[in-house]
Structure 1
Amino acid sequence: MNCLEHDSKSCWDVYSSAEDLAAMDELANRYVSFLTECKTERETIAYVRERLLKAGFVESVDHAFTADACFKSFKGKTIFIARKGKRPLSEGFRLLGAHADTPRLDLKQRPIYEDCNVSQAKTHYYGGIRKHQWMARPLALHGVVAKTDGSVVDIVIGEKPEDPVFTIPDLLPHLASKQMDLKLSEAFEGEKLNIIMGHAPAPEEIEAKKTGAKTCVKNRVLTLLNERYGIHETDLYSAEIQAVPAGPARFVGLDGSMIGGFGHDDRLCVFSGFEALLTAEQPEHTQIVLFWDKEEIGSEGSTGARSKFFEYCLQDLIDAWEPKARLSRVLDASKAVSADVNAALDPDYQDVHEKMNACLLGHGPTFNKFTGHRGKVGASDADFGYVAWIRGVMDKAGVPWQMAELGKVDLGGGGTVAKFLAVYGMDIIDFGPPVLSMHSPFELCSKADLYASVKAYKAFLES
């Protein structure tokens, strides 16, 4: 290649030593365990909190940050982590933000019913899913139930080998001729994504059914939930229960070079960013890592990036570490990365990408200068000088990187948390590893990209 031209580098070439390959495998094994255990945002934040405490970080109490390495979680769904740098906060911080939520199916508040001798649970899908991908596959239920006595019950069913699983039945091809003539967006209805919960009535209710009772199977399902968790149907009104793919994340391919599982978007970046934070040296600038909820539905609510949680935590940090600093000055002096995955060039669907501006699996984390859709609507467009600066950081660290857009101009588009931080004036860019089958129940990433992403985020946090 002409030395004046640019071409991205393969992570497999850059990290080809025996030492790097062994470290890559060790990291990938830990990520597979993380992805298997953490299928909801609550489980993810609980994992992060536990590891922070073991690493010596101090949890904030009454809005006070009393240590040089500290954190504050909020409603079990978002978390703010900070490590003091050598320089004062007024000279800015390095912030890495990612989101812990992922597209899935949520149980409705009154979900359980019975029809055709089958009990089912009604759902409302969360985020951008392709509905047909969630049918005729094993599902597990994860969530929490709050009772009026103040207690909270954790629910996980479908992950242990001895557990039953759940599923959404699909229409057999023999009877689907009309459905197959419809557009894909019309063929599968959200109101028909109903999960099979049970089929057999309780033995004592078989006689009741003979006398005309209509909900014996539903009652059996409620009885089993009560026996296992001590809950009643009315408790489901104050529950957050998600249907997620059952079973562990797995290595994919004869060479085990890829990782398949539910939730790479965006737990791949949560894991990579968190690993980078825990292994980074004492920084020049304060390091802040934020994991949010609700990104997949527009970063709404009190736990999303649109909320004031980050701003409130930062003000508390300033009060503790540099009381005379102004919030606006600290924000203006800071640099940030929106750690979010990008769509890898799919070998079977290359036509939806503009290949000169698409990312390849195995070529490292991907910069996305702007997001948005069709004319950059809703975009956060990174400053060109900042792009040059962060390119230099990666090159100095020897980390392979690439730059891409999310699909062709009139086809692609998406949004991240970047624009909600850009409003403060800080420099920010989207930066994360490529993924195949994004937003599906079984996404794919390269373990080489995982390894490179940890090194990239570490280089940024230490910059």
Structure 2
Amino acid sequence: MTAPDTDAPRLTPDLPAYLQDLADFVMASPSSYHAAAEVARRLEAAGYARADERLDFPAEPGGYVLVRDGAVMAWRIPDAGRTSATPVFRILGAHTDSPTFKLKPRPSTAREGWLQAGVEVYGGPLLNSWLDRELCFAGRMVTVDGRDHLVRTGPIARFPQLAVHLDREVNNGLKLDRQQHLHPVWGAVPVGDHGGRNADLSTDILAVLARTAGLDADEVAGFDVVMADTQAPGVFGASGELFASGRLDNLSSVHAGLVALESLSASGADASAGGVVADGVSGESAGAPVIPVLAAFDHEELGSASRSGAAGPVLEDVLRRVLDVMGVSGQGAARSFAGSWLLSADAGHLVHPNYAERHDPVNHPRANGGPLLKINANQRYSTDAAGAAAFARWCGVAGVPFQEFVSNNGVPCGSTIGPISATRLGIRTVDVGIGLLSMHSAREMCGAEDPARLAGAVTAFYNGV
């Protein structure tokens, strides 16, 4: 027997600490509702108190977290006794949802001996990337008493491809009909007893979900349930320099904001603004207490137009209520917004080596080159010259490299929560994020160093520099 080569590379390299934490967060967040709940759980463990928007907000210094459906808002009130200056906000904006498939009403069907589930396309997924993967169902079920119950299955469903023997032209161009072909299989219709194996098998996917959530099916009055890939994130590449995961768009940004808030909580120190130059006037906010905020919205992949989306009122409601409990209103609130910043963090594109012509010919973001500063002349991203200078300063303090992203003029540019939030609030906004390949795939990829670097820049941002 040949002795093992002890110098051979490991086939499954260990994850660095930050990536392991990100991987754990992704696996805990198969739906926007789970992501919001996981942020709240971790912040409460770090000493944050749960706020209820149906009640008056607390005024005492400390951290607070609020969950609205699939969105989560968190903030930290500084010690008001340090200064009489009007506080300013440093807001990390992100989103909890990702492209996927959502269960339709009356979803259970059976055909040719297979149990299937009716789903609707959510957002703009790369459809072919979801084929032949083991998928789970996850989301919330609402019972007749109005209570939410989180639910997630294990690997249960799959979009099976047609064998090449039955479609000899498939490799010349796969075309998927969203109604006919994206109809996942989640079981087989029982045939015989097989020794009692099928005695407890339900042919109703909602009954299976209810049972998984510890509920009776007749208790469930409504549901918001999506599909998610169950494969765990991992590193790959010759030196483990690449990272693959589902839902990096945009759980990578939510996680960066969460980790930065946890870091602030651990340090126990409040920040003050460092006198940012704004519109040619220097030092307007110098010394103002900084209120760090994580605003993780839902429904960005659908355009953000919902009560928990960036086009809705949730962030403005939170900001104004926080100022109100601190005794700031009217002119003071306007001064606070004018001195604040919003860092809109969402994923961007790395240059694809097989489609380099689809990218700008000069600005070529690379894996492990640092987070992206996203720029668009038509304000599909909110970055301007002042924002670019500010982001360079935050990255410099954090010791983090960054790189610019701009689209090829012939390829339409996507957008983010940045322009929406800037329009609603009038707060200076910068669009950033880690670079990805295979964005909107069931499994995206990035440089293994870039997620932690984004968290470092966010931490410097929160610290008021």
Q: Normalised by the shorter chain, which TM-score bucket?
A: 0.7 to 0.9
Deviation string 1:301-322 (CA, Å, 9 cap, x unpaired) is 1100011111111111111113
CA RMSD after TM alignment: 2.8
Deviation at 1:230, TM superposition (A): 6.2
CA shift in 2, pair 1:199/1:324, >3 Å = closer
- Partner residue of 1:172 out of 159, 163, 168: 163
Give the whole-Å Cα distance in 2 for the aligned partners of 1:410 and 1:234. Answer: 53
Q: Percent identity?
A: 23
Q: How does 1:259-298 map to 2 (within 5 A)?
A: 259-280=243-264, 281-284=269-272, 285-298=290-303
Distance 1:220 1:395 in 2: 55
The answer as to 2:310 corresponding to 1:305 is: yes
- Note the 1:392-403 alignment, pairs <5 A: 392-403=393-404
* Contact 1:99 1:292 survives alignment (8 Å): yes
Query: Within 2, Cα distance between the matches of 1:98 and 1:222?
Result: 31
Partner deviation per Cα, 1:9-52 (whole Å, 9 max, x = no partner): xxxxxxxxxxxxxxx92112211211122121111111111111
Query: What amino acid sits opposite 1:447 in the alignment?
Result: A
Distance 1:386 1:171, change over 3 A: same
Show CA shifts across 1:70-103 (max 9, x none): 3342333112212234666735221111111111
Cα distance change of structure 1 residues 358 and 90 upon mapping to structure 2, 3 Å threshold: farther
In structure 2, the partner of 1:426 is 427
The answer to whether the 8 A contact 2:244-2:446 is kept is yes
Aligned twin of 1:66: 59
**Secondary structure at 1:414 match in 2:** coil
Q: What does 1:172-321 correspond to in 2, within 5 Å?
A: 172-177=163-168, 187-201=176-190, 219=203, 228-229=212-213, 238-280=222-264, 281-284=269-272, 285-321=290-326
- Per the alignment, residue 408 of structure 1 pairs with 408
Compared CA separation, residues 395 and 109, structure 1 to 2 (3 A):
same
TM-score (norm 2): 0.82
CA contact (8 A) 1:84 1:283 kept: no
Per-residue CA distance 1:328-387 (angstroms, 9 max, x = gap): 3321221111011111112222121114223111010110123xxxx73x6244332232
Question: In structure 2, what is the Cα distance between the partners aligned to 1:220 and 1:297?
Answer: 28
Tell me how far apart the structure 1 counterparts of residues 250 and 29 of structure 2 sit (CA, whole Å): 12
User: Could you say if the C-alpha distance between residues 145 and 414 of structure 1 is closer, same or farther in structure 2, counting changes exceeding 3 Å?
Assistant: same
The match for 1:77 among 51, 70, 76 is 70
Deviation of residue 296 (structure 1)?
A: 0.8
- Aligned residue type for 1:282: D
Kept in 2, the 8 Å contact 1:131–1:190? The answer is: no
Contact conserved, 1:87 with 1:286, CA < 8 A, in 2?
no
User: Does the CA-based 8 Å contact 2:341-2:427 persist in structure 1?
Assistant: yes
CA distance in 1, matches of 2:212, 2:260: 39
Deviation larger for 222-231 or 54-63 = 222-231
Classify the secondary structure of the residue corresponding to 2:362.
Answer: helix
Relative distance call for 1:300 and 1:172 in structure 2 (3 A) is same
Selected match of 2:109 from 109, 113, 117 = 113
AA partner of residue 93 (structure 1): F
SS at match of 2:459: helix
Tell me if the contact between 2:33 and 2:150 (Cα under 8 Å) persists in the aligned partners: no
TM-score, normalised to structure 1's length?
0.82
Specify the SS of the correspondent of 2:429. strand
Deviation of residue 233 (structure 1)?
A: 6.7
Equivalent residues of 1:131, 1:188 under 8 A apart: no
Give the SS at the match of 1:47: helix
Cα gap change, 1:220 to 1:440, in 2 (>3 Å): closer
80-89 or 347-356: which moved more? Answer: 80-89
Aligned residue among 32, 38, 53 for 1:41? 32
Alpha-carbon distance between aligned partners in 2 of 1:447 and 1:382, rounded to the nearest angstrom: 25
The answer (yes or no) to whether the contact 1:122–1:191 under 8 Å persists in 2 is no
Ranges in structure 2 where 5+ consecutive residues have no aligned partner: 1-14, 194-200, 273-289
Q: Structure 1 residues 221 and 29 mapped into 2: Cα distance closer, same or farther (>3 Å)?
A: closer
Structure with the higher fraction of residues in helix conformation = 1
- How many Å separate the matches in 1 of 2:385 and 2:135? 45
CA distance in 1, matches of 2:50, 2:211: 36
Aligned residues: 418
Task: Say whether the 8 Å CA contact 1:65–1:316 is kept in structure 2.
Answer: no
Once the 2 structures are TM-superposed, how far is the Cα of residue 236 of structure 1 from its aligned partner?
6.7
CA distance in 2: counterparts of 1:226 and 1:393, whole angstroms: 47
The letter of the residue matching 1:189 is R
Q: Give the aligned partner of residue 103 of structure 1.
A: 99
